Amino acid sequence: MENRMTKSFVIKDDNVEQYATTIAGWIAQQVQGANRKGVVLGMSGGIDSSVVACLCHLAQVDTYLVMMPYGNDMSNSQSYQHALELIDKFNFPYHIYDIQPAADALKITDESFLAKADVANVGLSLANIRPRVRMTYLYQLAQLGSRFVIGTGNMAEGTVGYFTKWGDGAVDLNPLGRLTKQEVYTLAKFLGVPDAIIHKKPSAGLWEGQTDEDELGMSYAQIDAFILNGSSGDADIDAKIKQRYALSAHKFAPVPIFTD
């Protein structure tokens, strides 16, 4: 199976400074080349958004962070405290916007629709409202300030399609798109991301207690191994990765347009 994106480099401890500088320079070039005043970033308090924030700081790009909890979910998971620790360390400007009223207002409650859907699709339809509301808010904020929306998706997530279409997958630029999860951690240590963020389990915050690896049924280390070596080391996991890859192809393909 061929990866969607060619992996031509690997970030390690001995070259992390070089790549941090190179990626930061790329961010600055993208912003300046488009005549934007800076970027807006959805800050979850997780490893990916923290690394992107730090890369923007290194790039000396004007960066505005937004924490977008759904009610108390960020407080319950300590993501709020972790995000503030990073914000305080690097003195990022930020604000908090609770998406719960907006997300709840979009829920379909008509039983004639819900009764025809299976339980899994009902749950996912509700969970995916949240990243799509966040995307909408970030793009309005970006428009008001002539900024880009900067993304946080990494290559491991991209390989298994682990993002919401037209939600967290909708961004103007993505500095982590060709980085494995381990490379993100390598950058995090170099850039000074707080230890509390580095050592916690990755979570998309889709529901209380949710973790990425539990939901995926595989570890990021296994996905990284698949990307770098062609196999996770477990035939069953390889099959799951290939299946998720195939099922998520529509997330990467151009929108089909009829032509005669």
The residue segments making up the domain with residue 194 are: 16-217
Domain CATH number, residue 61: 3.40.50.620
The predicted structure's pLDDT at residue 30: 98
Per-residue pLDDT tens for 102-127?
Answer: 999 999 999 999 999 999 999 999 99
The string of DSSP codes covering the chain is ---SS-------TTTHHHHHHHHHHHHHHHHHHTT---EEEE--SSHHHHHHHHHHHHHT--EEEEE--STTHHHHTTHHHHHHHHHHHHT--EEE---HHHHHHT----HHHHTTS-HHHHHHHHHHHHHHHHHHHHHHHHHHTT-EEBP---HHHHHTT-S-TTTTT--SB-TTTT--HHHHHHHHHHHT--HHHHTSPP---SSTT--HHHHHTS-HHHHHHHHHHS--S-HHHHHHHHHHHHHTHHHHSPPP----
Residue 2 pLDDT > 50: no
- The answer to whether position 246 is within a domain reads no
- The answer to whether position 243 is within a domain reads no
Per-residue pLDDT tens for 165-222?
Answer: 999 999 999 999 999 999 999 999 999 999 999 998 876 555 566 677 888 999 999 9
Domain count of the fold of the chain: 1
- The answer to whether position 200 is within a domain reads yes
